[in-house]
Amino acid sequence: MDRSSLLQLIQEQISSKRSSSFKRAIANGQRALPQDGMLDEPGLGVYKRFVRYVAYEILPREVDRHWYFYRHRSCPPPVFMASVTLAQIIVFLCYGARLNKWVLQTYHPEYMKSPLVYHPGHRARAWRFLTYMFMHVGLEQLGFNALLQLMIGVPLEMVHGLLRISLLYLAGVLAGSLTVSITDMRAPVVGGSGGVYALCSAHLANVVMNWAGMRCPYKLLRMVLALVCMSSEVGRAVWLRFSPPLPASGPQPSFMAHLAGAVVGVSMGLTILRSYEERLRDQCGWWVVLLAYGTFLLFAIFWNIFAYDLLGAHIPPPP
C-alpha cells in the first residue's frame, strides 16, 4: 500500500478525534502501517518537521506517532497555552510599568491591591482562586513559567487537544490556591506555577513510565535538567516565603501551589496523557481521579467557609 492510499484510508475512517481507536484498528487488521519509518522520510516542510518532533517528544508508541503524524491538522492551532502565556506577559508588563518594578513585585505596597491576586482576606471573591495565575512575583518567575508553558504545554495541547490540556492546567491552578488556603492560611498566591507543574509533572511521569518507548533525544539529561529547574523554582519560592530579602507589609506568596500542581499532574495528568485516542469516560482510573479531585474541592470549599473562623486564624488585613 503506497502512502497516498494509506492517507486516503485513514481519512475515510476518521469521523472524530476519539471516535475510533487507531490501535484497535491496527490490532484487528483493518489498517496497516508501512514497513519503513514514515516519520523519517525526507522532504518535509518546516511545520511538518515540527509535528514530527512533537510526535517523538510526547507519544511513547510508534503506532501512536504514525497516527498523530498523518492525522494532525494545523487548524485549530494550540491556542490555549499561547493565549494564557500572552495574557500573563501583558498583565506583567502593565503592572511593571505601573509600579515601575520588574523584580519582586510583591514587595510593592500596591501590588496586592490587584483584583487578580489571591489573598486570604478576599476568599469570598471566588474568581481570585483562578485569576492569580496571571500575576507573577517578577520577571524570573514569569520567564520560567512562560518557557515551560510554551516548550511543554504547546506540544501537549497539539497532541491531546485544547479541552484536555486546559482542564489539566486549570485543575492545577485551582488546586494550588485551594491547597494554600488550607495549608498556609495567611499567605497570598500569585503565578501560574500550579498549572505549569501539573503539565510538567504529568509529562515527566509519562516519560518515566514509558521510558523504553520514548524516542526523544537525550531524555535522561533533559529529565535531570527539568527536575533541577523545577526543584530550584520551588526552593526559590520557599526562600521568598520564609526568608524575604526585603521588608514586607505581610506574608509573601506561598510555595504550596507548586506542590499541589505536581500532585494533580501525576494523578489527573498522567491519566489524561496515557489515554491518547481513547475516551476518558471509558477509563476507570479517570473516574477515580475525578472522584478524588471532587472530594478535595468540596473539602476545600467547606474549609474556606468555616475553618478560618473556627480556628481563629489571624490572617493579614486585605489590602
Nearest to 172 by CA among 296, 288, 271, 257: 257
| CB-CB contact of 304 with 313 (8 Å) | no
Strand partners, 118: 189
Q: Cα dihedral angle (245, 121, 179, 237), rounded to 10 degrees?
A: -10
The catalytic residue among 66, 119, 136, 258 is 258
Q: Cα dihedral angle (32, 36, 40, 44), rounded to 10 degrees?
A: -70
Q: How far apart are CA 32 and CA 182, in angstroms?
A: 53
Percent of residues in the chain assigned helix, strand, coil, to nearest 5 = 65, 0, 35
Task: Identify residue 48 by its one-letter amino acid code.
Answer: K
Catalytic residue list contains 108:
no
Strand partners, 189: 118
Q: What angle do CA 209, 205, 271 make, to 5 degrees?
A: 85
Integer CA distances (angstroms), 224 to 145, 149, 219, 232, 270, in order = 18, 18, 9, 12, 19
The catalytic residue among 193, 201, 267, 275 is 193
Q: How far apart are CA 205 and CA 266, in angstroms?
A: 6
Nearest to 197 by CA among 182, 219, 175: 175
Backbone phi and psi for residue 214, each to the nearest 5 degrees, phi listed first: -70, 130
Give the single-character DSSP code of 189.
B
Q: Is the dihedral of CA 218, 224, 230, 236 positive or negative?
A: negative
Catalytic residue list contains 258:
yes
Residues serving a catalytic function are 193, 258
